[in-house]
Structure 1
Amino acid sequence: MAAIVVVHGIGKQYTGPRSLHGGIAPALLDGVQLAGGPQLAPEDVEIAFYGHRFRPPGAPVTKGEPALTARDVTQPLERDLLLAWWSEAARLEPDTVPPPDAGTSKAAVPVSVQRALYALSRSRFMGRAGDRFLLGVLRQVSRYLGEPELRAHVQAEVAAAVAADTRVLVGHSLGSVVAYEALCAHPEWPVSALVTIGSPLGIPNLVFDRLRPPPREGRGAWPGSVADWTNLCDRYDVVALRKQLAPLFADGGRTVNDVAVDNGWQAHAVEHHLTAVETGTAIADGLRDRP
Structure 2
Amino acid sequence: MASVVVVHGIAQQYLGGRTLHTAVAPALLDGLDLAGGPPLTEKDVDVAFYGHWFRPPGATTKSADRSWTHRDVAEGFETDLLMALWAEAARSHPGRVPAPDPGESHKAVTPRTVQRALYALSKLLPPRFTDRFLVGVLKQVRLYLTDDGVRERVQECVARCVTDDTRVVVGHSLGSVVAYEALAANPAWNVRTLVTLGSPLGLPRLVFDRLRPGPVDGRGSWPGTVRSWTNVCDRGDVVALAERLGPLFGDPPGDGRRTVTDVLVDNGWNAHDIVRHLTAVQTGSAVAEGLRP
Alignment TM-score, normalising by the size of structure 2? 0.93
3-state DSSP of counterpart to 1:233: strand
Q: Determine the C-alpha separation between the residues in 2 that align with 1:178 and 1:63.
A: 24
Change (3 A) 1:216 1:107: closer
Q: Deviations over 1:207-263 (max 9, x none)?
A: 000000111111111000100000010112131121111111113321111111111
For residues 218 and 62 of structure 1, do their structure 2 counterparts lie closer, same or farther at Cα, with a shift above 3 Å needed? Answer: closer
Give 1:273's aligned residue.
Answer: 277
Q: RMSD value over aligned CA atoms?
A: 1.7
Q: What SS class does the counterpart of residue 67 from structure 2 fall into?
A: coil
d(CA) in 1 for partners of 2:146 and 2:173? Answer: 17
Change (3 A) 1:35 1:116: same
Unaligned 5+ residue runs, structure 2? none
Alignment of 1:122-133 (within 5 A): 122-123=123-124, 125-126=125-126, 128-133=128-133
* Cα pair distance change 1:178/1:108, threshold 3 Å: closer
Partner of 2:34: 34
CA distance in 1 between counterparts of 2:164 and 2:270 reads 35
User: How far 1:89 sits from its partner (Å)?
Assistant: 2.4
The 5 A counterparts of 1:246-261 are 246-251=246-251, 252-261=256-265
Distance change >3 Å, CA 82–CA 44, structure 1 → 2: same
**CA distance in structure 2 between the aligned counterparts of 1:131 and 1:137, rounded to whole angstroms:** 10
State the shift of 1:76 in Å: 1.8
**Deviation at 1:117?**
1.0
SS of structure 2 residue aligned to 1:250: coil
SS class of match (2:14):
coil
Distance 1:107 1:92 in 2: 24
Match of 1:111 in 2: 112
Aligned pair count reads 288
Give distance in 1, aligned partners of 2:11 and 2:167.
Answer: 26
Q: Paired residue for 1:287?
A: 291
Secondary structure of the 2:190 match is: coil
- Counterpart check, 1:206 vs 2:206: yes
What is the SS of the residue equivalent to 2:282? helix
Q: Distance in 2 between matches of 1:63 and 1:119?
A: 24
| Residue 61 (structure 1) shift | 7.4
Instruction: Indicate if the aligned counterparts of 1:9 and 1:171 stay in contact, CA closer than 8 A.
Output: yes
Q: CA deviation at 1:70?
A: 1.2
- Say which SS state the counterpart of residue 229 (structure 1) adopts: strand
Where do 5+ consecutive residues of structure 1 fail to align? none
| 1:24 pairs with 2:28 | no
Does the 8 A contact of 1:71 with 1:109 survive in 2? no
Question: Percent identity over the alignment?
Answer: 62
* Aligned residues of 1:4 and 1:46 also touching (Cα < 8 A): yes
1:38 shift after superposition? 1.1
Give the CA deviation at 1:88. Answer: 2.5
**In the superposition, relative to structure 1, how do residues 103 and 131 fare at CA in structure 2: closer, same or farther (>3 Å)?**
same
For the 8 Å contact 1:7–1:179, the answer to whether it is kept is yes
Contact 2:170 2:196 in 1 (8 A): yes
CA contact (8 A) 1:74 1:109 kept: no
Task: Work out the CA distance in 1 between the residues paired with 2:258 and 2:96.
Answer: 39
Partner of 1:183 in structure 2?
Answer: 183
Alignment match, 1:239: 239
Show the counterpart of 2:121.
120
- Letter in structure 2 aligned against 1:268: H
SS of alignment partner, residue 200 of structure 2: coil
**Local SS of the residue matching 1:257:** strand
SS at match of 2:259: strand
